[in-house]
Chains A and B, each alone.
Chain A
Amino acid sequence: MDFYDIFVAIENSPIGTWVRNSSHGLPLINAAHIIAVAMVFGTIFVVDLRLLGLQARNRAFTRVASDLLKWTWAGFALAVVTGLLLFAANATTFYSNTQFWFKMGALALAGINMFVFEFLTIRNVEEWDTDATPPVAARISGLLSIGLWCTVIVFGRWIGYTKGWNFSAPSEIDLDNLFFGAITAIQNFQIA
């Protein structure tokens, strides 16, 4: 069984089939995924702004983190569950969707950024916990986190325009290759 066969098996599983064919389930799971995204980004953003020294400057970093990160994780758990359900519904489509893999890549990088922060940067947190502006390493972590999570959101949204769900995209556009499709469309337009 190679890699692609696993995707086929997931798509054909009872749960994948159910999500794919449900008229109300898929939209609601999709909506829950957006709620999860809002929770993750809305809360991690506040922690990142504290790391950048832009928000809550007079409040200890560990306080801000302990207030917010549990909600980030709750949101992330919801995002994983709803994301897996959405993935199961159309696993083979995602397999051949470039934006999906870019999104997973950006997620992995956000994860690495978090591990570096949690295991290295935070080691001497007591030295800078109450500093209005944390050290450079912490600020870089915060900036990377905001950038990577925005990238995850952008690719996530982009999947919707490249996997053939979009009802409003003009029919002459190659949905699996939006960027190059757009360039071709512009070239055709200029030739015409």
Chain B
Amino acid sequence: MESFANWLSGTELSLLIQSTLWVIPAVQCVHIIAIGVLFGSVLMIDLRVLGAVSADQPVSAVNRRFAPWFWTALCVLAATGILLTIGEPRRELLSFSFWAKMSLIAIGVLVALAFQWHLRSSRARWEGVSPASGGTKTIAVGVIVVWLLVIVMGRLIAFDPQFWGSLSGLYTG
């Protein structure tokens, strides 16, 4: 991974990002705004499953409203995230927080896909306003926690060796 990170930081695009000072801060701003949109839509869908918001509307209606924002924000996050990684390959690819974050995103996206598939396959169940089962509610809480941890890990990239010590590939003792 270290040799890949070193190769990537020598590529033309990476050098261009590195030499243009405002790119990283500007892309980070877009990244954070998209985090807000993604997390807002996660909250609204999962809090609806929990019955804490929009209890007068079926889960399917709330999902139709917010799922497009979730996927759009996810695409923006992937695009800006890739740019940030190309711009600072060692900082990202050698950090523990980065890989913890990627693993958590994989879980979050898989659960989101499974949920969308489930809404489609048992549409009738979710067109009403009857409360979700305990198991479904547990998953909803889990999903919120996963995305909270994604945000935490993302922020910890900046503090990786300080926070994780020798777990971090950037730790120098």
Contact = CB atoms under 8 A, between A and B. Distances in A.
A68 B44 contact: yes
A71 B66 CA distance: 16
A182 B155 contact: no
Contacts of B152: 28, 31-32, 34-35
A45 B151 CA distance: 18
B39 A39 contact: yes
Nearest to A71: B43
Contacts of A71: 43, 47, 53
B93 interface: no
A8 interface: no
Contacts of B156: 27, 31
Contact of B36 (A45, A59, A169): A45
A157 B39 contact: no
Contacts of A23: 162-163
A182 B38 CA distance: 32
Given A157-B25, A161-B25, A178-B21, A46 B44 contact: yes
Given A38-B40, A153-B33, A158 B151 contact: no
Interface string B143-173: 0000010011011101100110000000000
B88 A168 contact: yes
A96 B37 CA distance: 32
Nearest to A24: B163
B40 A46 contact: yes
B44 A38 contact: no
A150 interface: yes
20 contacts: A31-B154, A31-B155, A34-B35, A34-B152, A34-B154, A35-B152, A38-B32, A38-B35, A38-B36, A40-B36, A41-B36, A41-B37, A43-B40, A68-B44, A150-B29, A154-B29, A157-B29, A167-B91, A168-B88, A170-B21
The secondary-structure label for the interface of chain A is: helix
Contacts, number: 110
Contacts of A181: 21
Contacts of A24: 163
A27 B36 contact: no
Given A30-B155, A35-B148, A45 B29 contact: no
A62 interface: no
Contacts of B91: 167-168
Interface in A33-78: 34-35, 37-43, 45-46, 55-56, 59, 63, 67-68, 71
Given A34-B35, A45-B37, A39 B155 contact: no
A43 to B, nearest CB: 5
Contacts of A34: 32, 35, 151-152, 154-155
Given A68-B53, A168-B88, A42 B155 contact: no
